[in-house]
A and B are shown apart, each in its own frame.
Chain A
């Protein structure tokens, strides 16, 4: 019984996260401005990380947790670098 509850709720949560990534992906594709795309990419990062945590619950291994931590770190550095570029890039123009 508990296996059924857990499997169904994992499917629902993963489906919702996948739908969320899809919606954010549309926003990243549409723009309209560069900061919208950066914001959308950052949100995709957070959602992918959450998806990895749910996958870790499904499989019960440590592997996905470490992947999630790496995604979080790399995503943070990426967003900061892109934001800095948006600020600095136009100063020179």
Chain B
């Protein structure tokens, strides 16, 4: 990885630092925000912003180094893009359901979950 041309090294370095910044901001958000529903927004910063930047950096670095397109890392990005909605959606519904079960003040006036929480 040390024999990259200088432009590729700069691009890869900037993308890496941008990805790290996104991940760190997301983590700070998870620590700082005061309510679960607000905290639910912070992880998608590392799932979308940071993953995109770091995966792009890896693709560019390996492709320039090998002299041919290396697209392995795109699978990681694709996988995260497909699974992040499922986990975040499930956690949002869990929070709504548990708040309702514990008789906490529920944030929603209407009932979006329908009759049972597992109904599709």
Contacts and interface: CB of A to CB of B under 8 A. Distances in A.
> Are A and B in contact, CB atoms below 8 Å, in the complex?
yes
B110 interface: no
Contacts of A10: 13, 16
B86 A35 contact: no
Interface string A1-43: 1110110111011111101111110110000011110111011
Contact of B31 (A3, A6, A26): A26
A43 to B, nearest CB: 4
Contacts of A46: 43, 46-47, 50-51, 80
> Which secondary structure characterizes the binding site on chain B?
helix
B17 A50 contact: no
B39 A20 contact: no
A35 B17 contact: no
- Chain B CB count within 10 A is highest, among A3, A6, A12, A40, for A6
B54 A54 contact: yes
Given A6-B12, A23-B28, A27-B30, A65 B73 contact: yes
Nearest to B93: A87
A42 B50 CA distance: 15
Contact of A20 (B12, B46, B55): B46
Interface of B: 1-6, 8-10, 12-14, 16-17, 19-21, 23-24, 26-28, 30-31, 36, 39-40, 42-43, 46-47, 50-51, 54-55, 57-58, 61-62, 65, 72-73, 75-76, 79-80, 83, 86-87, 90-91, 93-95, 97-98, 101, 117-118
Interface of A: 1-3, 5-6, 8-10, 12-17, 19-24, 26-27, 33-36, 38-40, 42-43, 46-47, 49-50, 53-54, 56-60, 62, 65, 68-69, 72-73, 76, 79-80, 83-84, 86-87, 90
